[in-house]
Amino acid sequence: MARRAVVTGGVGSIGTAICVALKASAHDVVALDHPSAAPRVEAWSQEHGIAVRLADLANYDATRAVFAEIGDVDVLVNAAGITRDARFVKMTPAHWREVLAANLDSAFNCTHAVFDGMCARNFGRVVNISSVNGQKGQFGQANYAASKAGMHGLTMSLAQEGARSNVTVNTVSPGYIATPMTAAIKPEALEKICAQIPVGRMGKPEEIARVVAFLCADDSAYITGANVPVNGGLFISA
């Protein structure tokens, strides 16, 4: 029987690549996304042959309700996220709350809905999609960097709680990836960004998905609490 995988932010660029990779590795995949993605859902679902559910994952009760409809979950990938960039002195409380809610609260809400069941069934894979900026910080992204750093704190703690139950929890931290979000950056700014990346280019969503699929495999059971950077050498740490 195929293991059921849920990918939050599943209709986005990186989320789509993750959904496709998990489907290719014989998972029963459900893409979970925000209601604002509704106009794209039908065409996306038909193109990829993957079911989609919509919910405001920053809302705890709405998240519990949609996971109750989905049923038992073996693999959870928390890839949902937004940005509200501004210099800290100009960052509003709303900017801060929106990003923390969409990025970090959603990871808590979704994982809270499935973690106990994973432990009870003695199998689970949770992968949190963080960011290189959660590791090194970034000018104008205090909210985003804080939320992404918080995701790995969640990873390290839950890895210890789930280890004896064969539930692994890991983080993948992408660098600059070619998505519609980065495509909106001015060409001269993109050129400067790529010049700072040792491999000389932005990453592809499929390169993130490959790492996620590896971590979600049954035989990746001895990897937990890790933060796997996929950033082309932009940030390297011991």
The string of pLDDT tens digits covering residues 17-50 is 999 999 999 999 999 999 999 999 999 999 999 9
The answer to whether the beta carbons of residues 48 and 104 sit under 8 Å apart is: no
Catalytic residues, by residue number, are 144
Q: For 131-167, how does the pLDDT look when each residue is reduced to its tens digit (9 = 90+)?
A: 999 999 999 999 999 999 999 999 999 999 999 999 9
Confidence band, pLDDT 50/70/90 cuts, at residue 189? confident
Q: What topology is assigned to 4-230 in CATH? A: Rossmann fold (3.40.50)
Structure tokens at 219: 């035989």
Question: Is the whole model's pTM more than 0.85, yes or no?
Answer: yes
The most distant pair of C-alpha atoms in the chain lies apart, rounded to whole Å, by 53
Helix (H) or strand (E) holding 52: strand 51-54
Mean model confidence pLDDT for the chain: 97
| Burial (CB count within 10 angstroms: exposed 0-12, middle 13-18, buried 19+), residue 224 | buried
pLDDT category at 10 given cuts 50, 70, 90 is very high
Residue 167: beta bridge partners?
A: 124
Contact 75, 115 (CB under 8 A): no
On the 0-12 / 13-18 / 19+ scale of CB atoms within 10 A, 190 is middle
C-alpha distances in angstroms, 199 versus 122, 176, 233?
40, 12, 7
DSSP 113-149: HHHHHHHHHT-EEEEEE--HHHHH--TT-HHHHHHHH
